[in-house]
Amino acid sequence: MVPRIHHGDRFDDLAIVRPFTSHDFGRRCLALLLIAGIFFSPFFGAKSSTAFDQPPTTDEVLVAQNDDDDAAQNDTNNKTRGDVENPFPKRFPSPSLDGGTEWLNVGGDITLDDLKGKVVLLDFWTFCCINCMHVLPDLAYLEEKYKNELVVIGVHSAKFENEKDSENIKNAILRYEIKHPVINDSKMTVWRKFNVSSWPTFVLIDPEGFFCGAQPGEGNRELLDTVIGRVVAYHKSKGTLDESPVHFDLERHKQDPKPLRFPGKIYADVEGNRLFITDSGHNRIIITDLDGQLLDIIGNGAIGRTDGDYATASFDHPQGVELVKNVLYVADTENHMLREVDLESKRVSTLAGTGKQAHFREDGGPVQRTALNSPWDLRFVDGTLYIAMAGPHQIWKHRLGSQNIDVYAGNGREDIINGTLATSSFAQPSSLATDGNVLFVADSEGSSIRAIDIKGKRVTTVAGAFDLPNGATLFEFGDRDGSANMARLQHPLAVALAGNLLYIADSYNHKIKVLDLDKGVVRTELGTGDPGSELSPIQFSEPGGLAINGQTLYIADTNNHRILKADRKTGEVELLEIAGLTPPDPPTSDEVETISAPDVIEVDAQTVSAGENLKFEISVNLPEEYKLNAEAPASYRIKATEDQSLIPPEELDVRKRAVVDEGKVVFNVPVTEKAGSAKFQVQVSYGYCRDGKGGLCKLNTSRWEIPVVIDVNADQASIELKSVAE
């Protein structure tokens, strides 16, 4: 049911959220956080972030409010505290987070009681969804800005069957570099508790466990920042805000480095005997020969959009590429840009895009002044570069040498609708292939394969469902071979053409399928349908890229971090070995988490014996039910407060790893002398969780000033300190 909406009270520039009471929670939509220019989608199951064609004006800001004010929270807890007003005076207790299949990206379950004192932002998402991908930078921004006040919880409520599997969600967490806990809500239990109706949707819960409101769609960073800031200010003034840092056992900490990381697309230059692999998870492009001999690497591996030579240039999760003469064009997806690589001079430059995402439908314009929206693949035909623009569900075009880029096909509505270039609809186009007359499109969210007649200027569907009413095509997926219009795919991410055969990476079915364009029949070519990494019988895990060289089919087996070669005649598959390829250097930031140091604790001088190392043992006094977490990063830093010669200079003022051993934080520091004295400041950070390993872990830092005496005759073998965590 769509809520009755009307003008709301004002809180400076923010429309106050008027959530429904718990009495109406189960039968009516959630209250919405809205300001001018922000839309909402009341349609259940819709994934679009907008429902109206035009934003409301400032005076037309809409706020949902329950009829029954008597049931609202109106006690003294909701009144003004000093000069800070509660932005949500009619809040009510939030539903619990119980009901998910599994907690991911964290060491255990988390309850709202664990989160008391924190502002909680729930992100309802599904990993296929381009809108859900677009909000991740916003969440990262908020998590950094409010790192001691805010906890983000992802609630993964799947659209596709493949997305219900925890291992597949873990891969998505790693691929998207998510740094917060995620609930696998495979049965949509939490989704129903909060009455969510679209991906993505944000739900805000305050530090006392009260539901404040919800906001669907992307492009809401400013709104969420404003709301969270005011909730933080109110609860800080009230004394109900917990600003102690927290720690989560992230999936990325459990991964070993790999030469390739989530390779997205692959391009075969048969004439030039080259293979271009977008090593998307490493933000670079690998060049090999067609047999896998490493030739070159484009990009330094860091996330960025720097132009320059191969070693200097940076990308952000690039996807498709296209070769025109000796220039490689790159869909730099998460930079929302097109890049061009001069393969002769070995330099990277920017062709199109501003580096910022276009949040609303753009018609196009000057190449470097027009914002783009998740370009995913490229194909060149008769002087024109065609772009699969996944974000606005359109195909764009750029005439090489011109100064403009604009929409080619698609009205921007997410659907599978045939028609003219202007009236047709696409659904997250993710790959292009062509014979020079027709553009074939892997329309991933509609699980269909489209065909654009370049001369006839019409769009048709050559495999999968189409033209169903009310967006039903978006949910018409499966794993069924047969006649093309009855065949069903599940989120295909790649197409490659060989004569009358169109190869399809049926990604979420973990298969390679073939569409015979003459017969209009789809058949499974490779894959068992189960995710895996076996070569015989061949298994894939969400393959995302295809390329053809004669009888060889190259496959980017994305979640298995590998490139495969398949013989199109025999069906035999082998791994493409790339000798000498190594992962880029990892980023140095955030390797060991720490927090601002408290006041220095002065301790009495300690006299110890020492060999090659000076041993430190820190006993920790923790709250009841908490234990040190051996999997959480512990660190130490030592500073000399005076001239000294006991500890080498390179060991000072550097953050280093410590270990957790039998309830203590332990580390050894090299020494250069067997006797002597000096005064040091020692800072130690560690994580602690309920029962030692749990969902929500806290961080603590202690700092001491210690006079140290090293004496070969001392009985004490280590420096012993005590830390108290709250």
Report, as an integer, the average pLDDT of 251-257: 89
- Residue 497: strand, helix, or coil: strand
What is d(CA 410, CA 417) in angstroms, rounded to the nearest whole number?
Answer: 9
User: What is the mean pLDDT of the segment spanning 111-126?
Assistant: 96
pLDDT at 436: 97
Residues 434 and 428 sit within 8 Å (Cβ to Cβ): no
Task: Tell which wins on pLDDT, 725 or 492.
Answer: 492
Which helix (H) or strand (E) segment is 25 a member of?
helix 22-25
* Residue 691: count of CB within 10 angstroms of its CB: 11
The pLDDT tens digits of the residues spanning 404-439 come to: 999 999 999 999 999 999 999 999 999 999 999 999
Q: Average of pLDDT values for 272-295?
A: 98
pLDDT value of residue 65: 30
Order of all β-strands in the sheet with 511-516: 482-483, 521-526, 511-516, 501-506, 494-498
pLDDT digits (tens, 9 = 90+) for 185-205: 999 999 999 999 999 999 999
Measuring CA to CA, which residue among 35, 57, 152, 135 is closest to residue 359?
135
Taking only the tens place, the pLDDT of each residue in 593-629 is 445 556 899 999 999 987 888 999 999 998 887 888 7
Residue with token string 């000072």: 652
Q: What is the pLDDT of residue 692?
A: 52
Contacts for 643 with CB less than 8 Å, ≥ 6 apart: none
**Strand, coil or helix: 47:** coil
Asked if 156 and 126 count as a contact pair (C-beta separation under 8 A), the reply is yes
pLDDT per residue as tens digits for the range 646-682: 999 999 999 999 999 888 999 999 998 888 899 999 9
Gyration radius (Cα) of the chain, Å: 28
CA–CA gap between residue 616 and residue 667 (Å, rounded): 5
- Structure tokens that stand for 719 in this block: 């420096």
Tens of pLDDT, residues 634-650? 899 999 999 998 999 99
Tokens 């520091």 correspond to what residue? 669
Are 714 and 708 contacting, i.e. CB atoms less than 8 angstroms apart? no
Mean pLDDT of 565-571: 97
Sequence-ordered alpha helix ranges (H) in 127-264: 130-134, 136-145, 166-175, 189-193, 221-238
Q: Which residue has the higher pLDDT, 259 or 695?
A: 259
What is the tens place of the pLDDT at every residue in 239-248?
Answer: 999 998 888 8
Contacting residues for 554 by C-beta, under 8 A, at least 6 apart: 266, 268, 275, 545, 546, 547, 548, 563, 564, 565, 566, 576
- What percentage of the chain reaches a pLDDT higher than 70? 87
pLDDT for 23 beyond 60:
no
Cα–Cα distance measured from residue 22 to residue 121, given in angstroms and rounded to the nearest whole number: 19
And the tokens for 599?
């006041």
pLDDT of residue 444: 98
Average pLDDT, integer, range 76-80: 54
Domains of the chain in start order, with CATH, are 5-253 (3.40.30.10), 264-527 (2.120.10.30), 601-724 (2.60.40)
Q: What angle do CA 637, 639, 641 make, to 5 degrees?
A: 160
In whole angstroms, give the CA distance from residue 230 to residue 244: 19
The 3-state secondary structure of 575-640 reads ECCCCCCCCCCCCCCCCCCCCCCCCCEECCCEEECCCCEEEEEEEEECCCCEEECCCCCEEEEEEE
**Cα-based distances in Å from 524 to 87, 270, 271, 487, 514:** 56, 26, 30, 11, 6
**What integer pLDDT is reported at residue 40 of this predicted model?**
30
Q: What is the rounded CA–CA span in Å between residue 664 and residue 666?
A: 6
